Amino acid sequence: MKTETAVMERFVQIIQNNEELSNPLHNRLQVYRDMVHSRFVETIENIYPILTTVLGNAMMHNFIREFIAIGAKTPFIVKMAEEFGNFLRHHPKLKSTLFLEDLLWLEYGELDLLSRDFKDIQAQLDWKKRYRLSSSALVRNVSYRVHAGEFESSCASSVLLYYHFDEKRVYFEEITPFALQLIELLERMTLERSIMVLAKKYELDAEILRESVEQLVVKWCHQRVLIKFTEV
Amino acid sequence: MKNIDGCGIGLRREFLEDFSALKKKPDWIEITPENWIFTPHRYRDTFEQIMDSLPVIAHGVSLSIGSPEAIDKSFLGDIKTFLDRYRIQHYSEHLSFSTLGGMQMYELLPLPMTRAMVIHIGDKVKQVQDFLQRPLILENASYYLAPYNEMREIDFINEIAEYADTTLLLDVNNVYVNGTNHGFDPDDYIKQIPPSRVAYMHIAGHLEYPDEVLLLDTHGEAISKKVWKLLERTLKKINAPVMIERDNNIPPLKELMGEYKKLSKIVAKRGAK
């Protein structure tokens, strides 16, 4: 198998790199190079459509060529997009690209949630229970107001992605720092106790706070964003 | 093949719901396990209902049986779990490679057709079969260049099947594409395959490059007249189940079912159904 291995290695090397081929229009090696490139492009651009628009097709295709040369590791093509995202995160040419990390998270997050399987568990409101983010939801801090389009002034905000069980699609929602803190607290303490902590921190009346928190938690339970701590 | 008879179709996500609603379904279906191993919530109920109602063959794309390295046991473990979960007995893969040194190309790349490769693949087939506790069916893949050959494609395939004592998935379109691209007679090729080695067959479409003598096995076009004719002649020699494989440019299910009806008529004519 020594010769065979050497032939296969050289073949893959030609596909992966951009060395000039003789008579490229009629060179069958070019057919393979194009096929592999198209396969990566189709998958990546489907998963990162906004990022592709932001970077432009030409630049995106160059990054994809570089990525092919390094090589994807997963046998599952849909998971390759995650490896590509990590490749871009560490690419020196993209160090100063604004919002790159957030865009990668948002676009891959949507695919990730659409690719997962979940148990459809709807939690009920219970003041004596702890809650946690379900596997059908993702949350991330950002430093600007997404909906207001205020991308230049620094402002704490968070983005919630969740899978809608009835519509079978992923929704995006901007949430306040207060809402994010509530999610974080609920992982560590009961709903009752979380309200007390927040009321103290923001110097608010606990009874008034209770009403608005109740609405929020009921909504999140309905959306399956939150589940009770013991539920899997 | 146990439970697999008549005509089938490749199940695709693009028409999953429409397929589920079909009153008269195909005799059996083929699915790509890599696309369903992590069955998402949005497809799960429909997918499982279909899987419960029809005989199924799993047709993989990422095994890379011809790679020089050892079989990826972790990947194979995922495949086995999936096959066991849905009680799928039949698993086929391509005679090609798509991985080298752990790097994935996600395309079916051509193998050097040599005696050493016959033994290498034959031994790996046995390992896969032992691991999966099922036979591995091997498909003749299309190729656009032959990087290093000691033997003809037909001898390469027959020798692997013989050495590993396994069966073949005969892709009639691939025979036609390869015959045109590499200058051999597809009928002569098919004549040399022992009929008893053929577990089932694929029929699919290809793309013709008008500027040069090159057919691309896109599996993304309607089946050409010449491939239909080749199938008719093949069926006179080989009595095996046949299915329509469409991987790209997926049309509405109605269009595919039109091809399926045509296939059923052809198969019925030979009296095998």
The ipTM is 0.93
d(CA B241, CA B243): 7
* pLDDT tens-digit readout, A121-134: 899 999 999 999 99
Q: Residue A147: is its pLDDT beyond 80?
A: no
- Establish if B160 belongs to a structural domain: yes
| pLDDT band at A148; cut points 50, 70, 90 | low
Residues of A in contact with B44 (CB under 8 A): 117
- Name every residue in B having a CB less than 8 A away from some CB of A: 34, 37-42, 44, 62, 64, 66-68, 72, 75, 97, 99-107, 109-112, 114, 116-117, 120, 144-145, 147-148, 212, 214, 216
Cross-chain Cβ contact B41/A168 below 8 Å: yes
| pLDDT band at A47; cut points 50, 70, 90 | very high
d(CA A100, CA A54): 9
Rg, Å, chain A Cα set: 23
* pLDDT tens-digit readout, A62-89: 999 999 999 999 999 989 999 999 999 9
SS3 letters across chain B: CCCCCCEEEECCHHHHHHHHHCCCCCCEEEECHHHHCCCCHHHHHHHHHHHHHCCEEEECCCCCCCCCCCCCHHHHHHHHHHHHHCCCCEEEEECCEEEECCEEEEEEECCCECHHHHHHHHHHHHHHHHHHCCCEEEECCCCCCCCCECCCHHHHHHHHHHHHCCCEEEEHHHHHHHHHHHCCCHHHHHHCCCHHHEEEEEECCCEEECCCCEEECCCCCCCCHHHHHHHHHHHCCCCCCEEECCCCCCCCHHHHHHHHHHHHHHHHHCCCC
Q: Residue A106: is its pLDDT beyond 80?
A: yes
- To the nearest whole angstrom, how far is the Cα of A143 from the nearest Cα of chain B? 32
Query: What's the mean per-residue pLDDT of chain A?
Result: 91
Residues of chain A within CATH 3.90.930.50 domain(s) are: 119-228
- Establish if B248 belongs to a structural domain: yes
DSSP annotation of A71: -
Q: Residue A231: is its pLDDT beyond 70?
A: no
pLDDT for A151 equals 65
Residues of B in contact with A84 (CB under 8 A): none
Fold annotation for A119-228: Outer Surface Protein A; domain 3 (3.90.930)
* pLDDT tens-digit readout, B188-243: 999 999 999 999 999 999 998 877 678 999 888 999 999 999 999 999 999 999 99
- To the nearest whole angstrom, how far is the Cα of B175 from the nearest Cα of chain A? 18
pLDDT for A152 equals 65
Mean pLDDT of A50-59: 95
- Establish if B31 belongs to a structural domain: yes
Cβ neighbours of residue A70 closer than 8 Å, sequence gap 6 or more: A87
What is the span of the domain harbouring residue B257?
7-269
Q: Residue A144: is its pLDDT beyond 60?
A: yes
- Establish if B2 belongs to a structural domain: no
- Please list the ranges in chain B whose pLDDT falls under 50: 272-273
- To the nearest whole angstrom, how far is the Cα of A5 from the nearest Cα of chain B? 6
Runs of H (alpha helix) within chain A: 2-16, 28-47, 49-55, 57-70, 77-89, 100-115, 177-188, 191-202, 206-222
- To the nearest whole angstrom, how far is the Cα of A40 from the nearest Cα of chain B? 8
pLDDT for B272 equals 45
Cross-chain Cβ contact A165/B99 below 8 Å: no
Instruction: Give how far the C-alpha of residue B59 lies from the chain's centroid of Cα atoms, to the nearest Å.
Output: 6
- Write the CATH number for B257: 3.20.20.150
Q: Strand pairing partners for B185?
A: none
Residue B184 burial by Cβ neighbours in a 10 Å radius (0-12, 13-18, 19+): middle
- Establish if B259 belongs to a structural domain: yes
Count of the separate structural domains present in chain B: 1
- Establish if B108 belongs to a structural domain: yes
Please give the residue of chain A at the shortest CA–CA distance from B117: A1
User: Token pair for residue A115?
Assistant: 């690719």
Residues of A in contact with B114 (CB under 8 A): 3-4
pLDDT for A87 equals 97
